[in-house]
Amino acid sequence: MESATLPIEHGHHGEPHGPPDANESSRIDKQTLGILLFIVSEVMLFGAFFASYFFLRVVVDPAAWPPHPYELPVPVAGVNTAILVSSSFTVHYALESIRCGNRQGMKLGLLLTWILGATFLFIQINEYAHLGFSARDLSFGSIFYSLTGLHGAHVFVGLMLLSFATIRAFRGHFGPDAKDHLGVEVPGIYWHFVDVMWIIVYVSVYIL
């Protein structure tokens, strides 16, 4: 039995009709889209933890927060917040530098961002060592360590991404072309997300 062959209609320029390839029809790079979708999923994860936090604080134990005799080092956390917020400016500087072809500025920005992020994580670990309570102390201790620890884990992941980007930068990778500096832009997007989430954690847990 002979198979029927359908003629392919061509346009005015001899190109076949039909939708273009998926990558060509997208206005956003697939790596950028991937990190944005990942961030959306992480926002939902943080949302679940925040829902638990506010439920415990408002419904289960609406008394003084933190409960007596526990205290939170608000000034130390404030300094740590300033450090992490500063790292958003340095990673933005790194990206803007490579967009302008300034490789030295990119290297400096990435290195400073890594140092600030590592400093934040070190201070947070040191804070844990001197808090005087653990995750086993009441629901307060459990949700405090869960929420801040979740964010700390994200900072660690961000530092890994920044490490790879920094190593590549010092090896001469990346350029001013849009697709040549995705290795800086994608970690930068993730790092901004980490910074924003910490501001929300800091305000919710330490200030309110």
Instruction: Convert the pLDDT of each residue in 8-17 to its tens digit.
Output: 444 445 455 5
Say what the pLDDT of residue 11 is: 46
Segment 102-129 mean pLDDT: 94
CATH number for position 146: 1.20.120.80
Residue 62: predicted pLDDT: 59
Count other C-beta atoms under 10 Å from residue 134's C-beta.
11
> What's the confidence (pLDDT) of residue 7?
47
Higher-scoring residue by pLDDT: 109, 3 = 109
64 — pLDDT class (breaks 50, 70, 90):
confident
Write the DSSP symbol of residue 137.
S
Tell me the pLDDT of the chain averaged across its residues.
83
Structure tokens at 131: 């808090």
Residue 10 DSSP symbol: B
Q: Does any domain span residue 34?
A: yes
Model-level pTM?
0.81
Asked whether residue 20 is assigned to any structural domain, the reply reads: no
In terms of residue numbers, what domain contains 78?
29-53+73-207
The answer to whether residue 19 is domain-embedded is no
pLDDT at 49: 92
In the structure encoding, which two tokens stand for residue 139, read together? Answer: 């629901």
